[in-house]
Structure 1
């Protein structure tokens, strides 16, 4: 008898009332043991403890495992020995991607092949994790979970938002085997292990700082101290066109500047704004119209960038609400393509937090059942341990008990209402 069914396909929740819109969801059915917390409570953790750690930089050690495999020219899975090397790397204490110099010189052209290699490692570890779960080797499975989640945390140290997104993806890969393990007879309760995870699990601060460096690199030839010659401006515009073509921007830099420079009011306004932000009037008087307009465009970019970035550290439900309300300029700024899609990145980060919070609820329900004769609670307020709120709503998760089956649901973020991955639905049955 299958104890757990993970439905990766989209299922349609029944509509209430005639003509009501159907809502897609992802259904995960778990048959679980009613299990008390381990003694001591932190016997099991999901990240390496300091006592397991060694000194060193894990990043080159991760990459060596993948590159050694690539050099063999084979699609065979990593060997057991190679995965052991990954385990050791995950327990090193000083992750350093060693790309800051290139970040400052290459800008948006920075190549990131190493990032995808980390996803390859996560997939390899995922196979081992599932095998250990299927064999009910729970101690080994938890050790692999530590490796995978440490890998994700190290990926979160990458100074790009792309690195943060890959970190979220790696951590998400580890969740399905965790669910499978929780559904296995005899699995220890992981409530306190999940509670002990950092929040947010993948921080975005390094990536956001890197985004600021990216664009500063692309605009390093834009002088705000001395007048630029026509040749310097042409060189800069050619470079910007090349960068903005990567970003699929339509209008050429020269065309945009020529249109703006036709109207003297634009130049007057630009000089006033630049003076208000610290540039001296006598210096501005020496700058050509194009240099003035480029400096104003840079200022517009920095203001618009920070209007979204300043909300990123807030709780997910607040951050998304505020970022969504940031006004979009009526006229498309010259450097609008440099702006990151922070709403999407923050939403991905919030989705991972929601998955961990849902699993923590599942384990809390197992704790409750263990103390109440194998019965699930009628409502979440009956659960004795602290429960996190839904990151997308800031409110308790939705829960109901129907015919002895617990139904736990997460709320979707704005613009995710019709996406099944944002409608997580756990059906929880206590094994008799």
Structure 2
């Protein structure tokens, strides 16, 4: 065996032996049967709790009260009761659709950070209620926090969706801690009733299309554009583009490529712009229209995959080819693979917590014993969103271990490597 071969073998062995980064959560839980009635505890406000109204102004009023020092502590219950009432309103409306059409990427979203502040204050109250064993109060706060995340999911921007995903994780943390408290009721059926996916992306994807339409609204595909109009548009796009290469330099260089120009005009004709009209456009207008066409194609190649189950969507999104030196495509194409993975991470965590509660149900009916296999559990169990298959499960030295599988490319990211270790309290 050569020295090179030996070195390679050592490197492979070291890589295999190296522990994978993970988030290891240890829970000691009671063996607890489901409550009766089974849906005594739920995790989102029910229809009978809802009142007519838009919750968003009420959430903002709550945060403004905190910032003004109206509360002695961030988790002051009197102030946060306003958030409880807001979470039980039925028509969330962020009231920014007109600005989506006009402001584009310059749209200001100061309310998103304020929702994070509110969620942090609610989390503090949640943890205090859990520590005191006030599970009925904690359930009220859980419903408020999860409803806040769902309302945030109605925001028509991808940034809003990422904040909604973060808020759902903030809510899941104290809920997870509550399951380990003595006397905690079983939430298996409450978790089962949560919507899937927990944070929807459909409205945000539609909003993303509107945002970019606003940025490109001055790009005319009906009439020839003047030199002044093109200059104004190019300067606008260069202010957005963070790359070192200037758009004007790319246009000047590419306009001299006769083959590229001929192909661009042909693509626009195939795209529905009459050839005689294309012939009237300047080279720069042709190139910008062709770039917009390419952006829309690549954007939709991503967006069409998002509704697929995560185990199909995430790897397919990752396999899409990266854009090669396409100015508008590079500037505006969203990172949907990262967003779809973050969305599924919430669903994976909630699915694992549902498994924890299923183990508590099983132990309650089997003298405190854990199941040897997940197949021995007599309630339905969700699959891992990232694989479409059952979660990995083992019983080691009297403790149950559940592992979530990370999506491709996230193997060394601890946040995507959840490991629950569950011991039944004697």
Q: Distance in 2 between matches of 1:430 and 1:111?
A: 49
**Residue from 250, 257, 268 that aligns with 2:251:** 257
Q: Is the counterpart of residue 274 in structure 1 residue 268 in structure 2?
A: yes
In the alignment, what sits opposite 1:386? 380
Q: Distance in 2 between matches of 1:75 and 1:108?
A: 38
Supply the RMSD in Å over aligned alpha carbons. Answer: 1.6
Q: Is the counterpart of residue 425 in structure 1 residue 419 in structure 2?
A: yes
Change (3 A) 1:275 1:430: same
**Residue from 346, 352, 361 that aligns with 2:340:** 346
Q: Is the counterpart of residue 93 in structure 1 residue 129 in structure 2?
A: no
Instruction: Name structure 2 gaps, 5 residues minimum.
Output: 1-11
Contact in 2 for aligned 1:69/1:78 (Cα 8 Å) = no
Q: Distance in 2 between matches of 1:97 and 1:31?
A: 41
Which aligned pairs between 1:184-223 and structure 2 lie closer than 5 A? 184-223=181-220
Contact in 2 for aligned 1:58/1:95 (Cα 8 Å) = yes
Q: Is the counterpart of residue 292 in structure 1 residue 292 in structure 2?
A: no
Structure 1 residue 418: Cα displacement: 1.0
Q: Distance in 2 between matches of 1:19 and 1:116?
A: 41
Instruction: Name structure 1 gaps, 5 residues minimum.
Output: 1-14
In the alignment, what sits opposite 1:412? 406
Structure 1 residue 39: Cα displacement: 1.0
Structure 1 residue 401: Cα displacement: 0.7
Change (3 A) 1:345 1:53: same
SS at match of 1:151: helix
Which aligned pairs between 1:231-242 and structure 2 lie closer than 5 A? 231-242=228-239
Cα-to-partner distance string for 1:175-216 (whole Å, 9 max, x where unaligned)? 121112111111111000000000000001111111111111
SS at match of 2:280: coil
Structure 1 residue 72: Cα displacement: 4.0
SS at match of 1:23: coil
Contact in 2 for aligned 1:354/1:390 (Cα 8 Å) = yes
Q: Is the counterpart of residue 230 in structure 1 residue 227 in structure 2?
A: yes
* Greater alpha carbon shift after TM alignment, 175-184 vs 135-144: 175-184
In the alignment, what sits opposite 2:309? 315
In the alignment, what sits opposite 1:107? 104
Contact in 2 for aligned 1:256/1:334 (Cα 8 Å) = no
Change (3 A) 1:315 1:400: same
Q: TM-score, normalised by structure 2?
A: 0.95
SS at match of 2:150: helix
Contact in 1 for aligned 2:71/2:79 (Cα 8 Å) = no
SS at match of 1:335: helix
Structure 1 residue 21: Cα displacement: 2.2
Structure 1 residue 16: Cα displacement: 9.2
Structure 1 residue 328: Cα displacement: 2.4
In the alignment, what sits opposite 2:8? none
Q: Distance in 1 between matches of 2:260 and 2:21?
A: 49
Structure 1 residue 104: Cα displacement: 1.0
Q: TM-score, normalised by structure 1?
A: 0.93
Q: Distance in 1 between matches of 2:139 and 2:48?
A: 16
In the alignment, what sits opposite 1:377? 371
Cα-to-partner distance string for 1:95-129 (whole Å, 9 max, x where unaligned)? 00001111111101111110000000000000100
Q: Distance in 2 between matches of 1:199 and 1:340?
A: 23
After the TM superposition, list the runs of 4 or more consecutive aligned residues in structure 1 that deviate by more than 6 angstroms.
15-19
Change (3 A) 1:204 1:231: same
Contact in 2 for aligned 1:300/1:333 (Cα 8 Å) = no
Change (3 A) 1:72 1:53: same
Residues paired across the two proteins, number: 415
Q: Distance in 2 between matches of 1:410 and 1:305?
A: 30
Q: Distance in 2 between matches of 1:73 and 1:261?
A: 61
Change (3 A) 1:70 1:18: closer
Change (3 A) 1:54 1:183: same
In the alignment, what sits opposite 2:178? 181
Structure 1 residue 249: Cα displacement: 1.9
Cα-to-partner distance string for 1:29-53 (whole Å, 9 max, x where unaligned)? 1111111111111111000000000
Q: Distance in 2 between matches of 1:249 and 1:157?
A: 32
Contact in 1 for aligned 2:75/2:125 (Cα 8 Å) = no
Structure 1 residue 336: Cα displacement: 1.3
Contact in 2 for aligned 1:35/1:366 (Cα 8 Å) = yes
SS at match of 2:21: strand
Structure 1 residue 75: Cα displacement: 8.8
